[in-house]
Structure 1
């Protein structure tokens, strides 16, 4: 008889509704989820992808852009066994050496590990996929060296360094030098001839990379490198502080050995080997000086030219 069946789970009514054990799922499913978020916040939407890309570029540019005193560049990775060993030999400041798991060791790997251990640089073991991600797929050969961000000085700091030494400022400025090895060579010459620092522009110029550190042969640890937002305005500020601005130019009106200003407070400006000084920087200089070259060469790279001029300045000051 209907309603008296002893069979379990048999429907005894045609009435639809909630069943025992559903937990009210249907009721929750009917609840509203709030207003629809804007397109830029909806995952997968084109505007969301565009917003993320813009934010990523903004963060990236801010991490690269120094400002004020003590501005820092971004950290750098030295990739490959030979490069890592050479960087450690040159005693470039390092924060970590990453070594691939189960790497096939050779003389370079063993030397890198020994140098890092002797200097107290942390050794980090990493899987190959992680190293591939860190280096954006470069051929790292199982070894990566991480260099901390370089802390740039402010151009005014170089004047303070000279004042603390009770010496007339001797500063080198680089205009349009994009090869970091040239920067490293200039830093090395500054250390050799008792200069007070190097100024580089913030944009379109070489920075203190691993290559610059290596070329400086450790001199970068003793010589300050400052970054200028605008090189022309920085040179004008130096002029107001009493420095003479001397530009190196192949068509300069004065020979180097005739320039008496090198004995006093001076900032020497070197341009790129191809383009030389930019127009505004050249117009700002108090003197345009040429280096006599009896051999007939048309020009010298910035590293060589800086060494010659700094030697002449040191000779006159002595």
Structure 2
């Protein structure tokens, strides 16, 4: 988010390419991530910020106590929990860097579990993007792939929704999700697309020992036709109630954890880290 303070407001930034991050957890994760943070705004009378303030001081950030209304303007919301930080913009990584990370022995901090990526196909709601990044980080994904056009940006809203995970999880921005999937598959990943109309349930597809790219489509529209054709398998989650489908971020989170469950069960069955299947073993 570009700073939106009006010129002349004491201590407020003029339009500026830096990113504003609001919320205690998101700011704390920002400070832990190592990204440069030059200023912290704290609401007058705010309590429970000792850890955040100590971390900000240790990184040389200027700390300014301001009326709560100032934070409302900076954050664009009243849900800032009394703290806003200004940092350098989130950077992107190249797809090739994500694929290289997937080959490293300790990818995602789980050296014997197959790597996983999450691929977002034209999601429009930044809150869904943030929630999916949070789930991907929690599930130990290597990183995420997002479209550079016709998709929600990695804005401060997405960062807040990620509860700080966006500060840690590498994200690659690509011009074509379909072409990116082809490249990902060349590295031995199976592309598993979430599709409520699919014939197969997620747990009927065996992914134990297999590197997986979990593909989540746009809210309401689902996967685009080209991306759908690039998926190796389409799966759905059972809907036992009266609602016809799940929110995109919820469906993606459940699917990621089902893939991880299979990875962990496969690891326990083999006793060692399972080898990845080659492309010749598809289908």
Same fold (TM over 0.5): yes
Give the Cα–Cα distance (whole angstroms) in 1 for the partners of residues 53 and 150 of structure 2.
Answer: 33
Give the Cα–Cα distance (whole angstroms) in 2 for the partners of residues 272 and 305 of structure 1.
Answer: 12
Q: In the TM superposition, what is the alpha-carbon distance from 1:308 to its structure 2 partner?
A: 0.6
Deviations 1:182-219 (A, max 9, x none): 22222222222222111001112233332333332333
**292-301 or 91-100, larger mean C-alpha shift:** 91-100
Give the Cα–Cα distance (whole angstroms) in 2 for the partners of residues 86 and 195 of structure 1.
Answer: 20
Q: In the TM superposition, what is the alpha-carbon distance from 1:124 to its structure 2 partner?
A: 7.1
Give the Cα–Cα distance (whole angstroms) in 2 for the partners of residues 183 and 281 of structure 1.
Answer: 18
Q: In the TM superposition, what is the alpha-carbon distance from 1:87 to its structure 2 partner?
A: 4.7
Matched with 1:123 is 62
Matched with 2:39 is 97
Matched with 1:88 is 27
Q: Structure 2 stretches of 5 or more lacking a match?
A: 1-16, 65-69, 106-110, 265-283
Say if 2:241 is the partner of 1:295: yes
Higher relative contact order (CA 8 A, sep 6+): 2
User: Are the counterparts in 2 of residues 84 and 112 from structure 1 also a CA contact under 8 Å?
Assistant: no
Matched with 1:150 is 90
Say if 2:110 is the partner of 1:163: no
Q: In the TM superposition, what is the alpha-carbon distance from 1:174 to its structure 2 partner?
A: 0.4
Larger radius of gyration: 1
User: Are the counterparts in 2 of residues 88 and 116 from structure 1 also a CA contact under 8 Å?
Assistant: no
Q: In the TM superposition, what is the alpha-carbon distance from 1:276 to its structure 2 partner?
A: 0.7
Cα 1:90/1:168, change in 2 over 3 Å: closer
Q: Structure 1 stretches of 5 or more lacking a match?
A: 1-73, 126-130
Matched with 1:270 is 216
**DSSP 3-state at the match of 1:242:** coil
Q: In the TM superposition, what is the alpha-carbon distance from 1:275 to its structure 2 partner?
A: 0.9
User: Are the counterparts in 1 of residues 177 and 227 from structure 2 also a CA contact under 8 Å?
Assistant: yes
User: Are the counterparts in 1 of residues 202 and 236 from structure 2 also a CA contact under 8 Å?
Assistant: yes
**204-213 or 230-239, larger mean C-alpha shift:** 204-213
Alignment of structure 1 residues 132-147 onto 2, 5 Å = 145-147=85-87
Give the Cα–Cα distance (whole angstroms) in 1 for the partners of residues 143 and 41 of structure 2.
Answer: 36
Deviations 1:133-153 (A, max 9, x none): x97xx899xx96423111111
Alignment of structure 1 residues 1-318 onto 2, 5 Å = 75-77=18-20, 83=22, 87-88=26-27, 91=30, 93=35, 95-97=37-39, 106-108=44-46, 115-116=52-53, 118-120=55-57, 122-123=61-62, 145-165=85-105, 167-261=113-207, 263-318=209-264
Cα 1:285/1:215, change in 2 over 3 Å: same
Structural RMSD (CA): 3.5
Give the Cα–Cα distance (whole angstroms) in 1 for the partners of residues 237 and 220 of structure 2.
Answer: 16
User: Are the counterparts in 2 of residues 75 and 147 from structure 1 also a CA contact under 8 Å?
Assistant: yes
Give the Cα–Cα distance (whole angstroms) in 1 for the partners of residues 103 and 26 of structure 2.
Answer: 33
Cα 1:182/1:263, change in 2 over 3 Å: farther
Give the Cα–Cα distance (whole angstroms) in 2 for the partners of residues 191 and 267 of structure 1.
Answer: 14
**213-222 or 176-185, larger mean C-alpha shift:** 213-222
Give the Cα–Cα distance (whole angstroms) in 2 for the partners of residues 87 and 97 of structure 1.
Answer: 15
How many residues are aligned here? 231
Give the Cα–Cα distance (whole angstroms) in 2 for the partners of residues 181 and 196 of structure 1.
Answer: 21
**DSSP 3-state at the match of 1:161:** helix
User: Are the counterparts in 1 of residues 124 and 151 from structure 2 also a CA contact under 8 Å?
Assistant: yes
